[in-house]
Amino acid sequence: MQSGTRKYNKWIIEFITEKPGINPLMGWESSTDTYSEIKLEFNNKELAIDYAKKNKINYELIKSNIKKINKKSYADNFTK
């Protein structure tokens, strides 16, 4: 199976949830902090950093691990 590369060019701001708790009814991890549900996408790094600075958001840049995609074909199974 091959993974797509459609959204590799986006920069995302995610908010970190502090102290998630356990929902007593279902036992799932939950939080009252609604910022954890927000993901903001930007077309480039500069726009994301400018937005964070303008809104006084502490940020950390995390370098993504871009993997090399080897194109495969079903016919390659029979040509060796």
pLDDT tens column, 34-55: 787 888 999 989 999 999 999 9
Q: Is the dihedral of CA 60, 43, 6, 72 positive or negative?
A: negative
Q: How far is CA 21 from CA 14, 16, 32, in A?
A: 19, 14, 9
Which value, to the nearest 10 degrees, does the dihedral of the CA atoms of residues 24, 27, 31, 32 take? -30
As a whole number of angstroms, the distance between CA 43 and CA 8 comes to 10
Each of the 80 residues of the chain gets a pLDDT tens digit; together they read 455 666 567 888 888 877 777 888 888 877 777 787 888 999 989 999 999 999 998 888 887 777 777 778 888 888 76
As a whole number of angstroms, the distance between CA 65 and CA 22 comes to 32
Can you give the pTM of this predicted structure?
0.59
